[in-house]
Structure 1
């Protein structure tokens, strides 16, 4: 079965050791500890996707700073923030920056494991969504500018005749472009083509 990864980022060595000991007993989990946000960020791009248990108050880059820095690769780490008492407002800020959940220290072990499992599920969904978008975008980028114009016209619900008028070409030429874009997108129906377009982030003009 596929191994899952948990990264504990906390400057308190007793917290790291306790969490590593607890989580290492769970099946299929590889647990790594980092003593600071800076140490984790230095390694982040080389790490396998996983669940991040992140302290907020640390020397150097804070937990919020780590989340900011991870923004370009946020889908790789499902983050559960570990907060001290009275840090709820900071935890809310962390969630606005992409954290999945927050737990107050000392955290209940059952609650912790539940949060981790949910974070893994959320992360898998996020990675699948990014993969779908990347694949859809590659297909859209294979279209010529005119084929894309025709696709946008179709997304706006226009008929071939209206699209032809808007683009200054004949309805027959629109049909040709439409057939070509369907072939390049490897779809058999307009609904499939529109689904790929929306997944790729292509939207009607205006």
Structure 2
């Protein structure tokens, strides 16, 4: 779990906020509480590690509206929805919109803590994936246009001979381009290069 991860709690019920803060802090996790979505947005800045524990029904901006706002702004903070009686349909909407879990009131402490730990673990993994993707994209930017062509054909499974024919160059020239691609991408094998190409694709893992 990331050491600087924070559990952000947004709930208009002061007693609930206090109870959640005591419960979560007792496990050694860092907690910040807010009485409204507006207060959270005023304090939060993009890129902070952690997860968001969010009440569905609140005055002003609701939990669902805050979740939608964060998604629109490109923030990927994992969201756990807290729902009261009759809010299950809303919670399902929240899950379809990307929430990692929803917890119904009244809840068992261990169920909530387990959900929080899972959300923090998810945040850590996706954060690592985004960093890895950014590094691969940076390496790709160092390739020449011809090296990009060669890499695309190599990762499509085409042989040096086929690539040479397609580009109108010798197989030896293709070998030289291929060697430079492997070096610049820091790929140890063809399988490694293919994996990088898949990660760097627009629809690749984040």
TM (norm. structure 1) is: 0.88
Q: How big is the shift at 1:123?
A: 1.4
2:49 and 2:124 in contact (8 A); partners too: no
Distance 1:202 1:57, change over 3 A: closer
Q: How big is the shift at 1:108?
A: 1.5
Question: Within 5 Å, which residues of 2 pair with 1:1-206?
Answer: 2-27=3-28, 29-45=29-45, 48-71=48-71, 72-74=74-76, 77-201=77-201
CA distance in 1, matches of 2:201, 2:107: 40
Q: How many pairs are equivalent?
A: 200
Of 146-155 and 162-171, the range deviating more from structure 2:
162-171
CA deviations on 1:29-85 (whole Å, 9 max, x unpaired) are 1111111112212222167311210111122222122222222120xx222110111
Distance 1:189 1:47, change over 3 A: closer
CA distance in 2, matches of 1:85, 1:51: 23
CA distance in 2, matches of 1:202, 1:82: 33
CA deviations on 1:101-148 (whole Å, 9 max, x unpaired) are 000122221211111111111111111111111111111222112111
1:147 and 1:177 in contact (8 A); partners too: yes
Alignment gaps of 5+ in structure 2: none
CA distance in 1, matches of 2:165, 2:81: 55
CA deviations on 1:134-192 (whole Å, 9 max, x unpaired) are 11111122211211111110111111121222233332222221111111012232112
Runs of 4+ more than 3 Å apart = none
SS of alignment partner, residue 150 of structure 1? helix
SS of alignment partner, residue 82 of structure 2? strand
CA distance in 1, matches of 2:202, 2:20: 44
Q: CA RMSD in A?
A: 2.0
Q: How big is the shift at 1:21?
A: 2.0
Alignment gaps of 5+ in structure 1: none
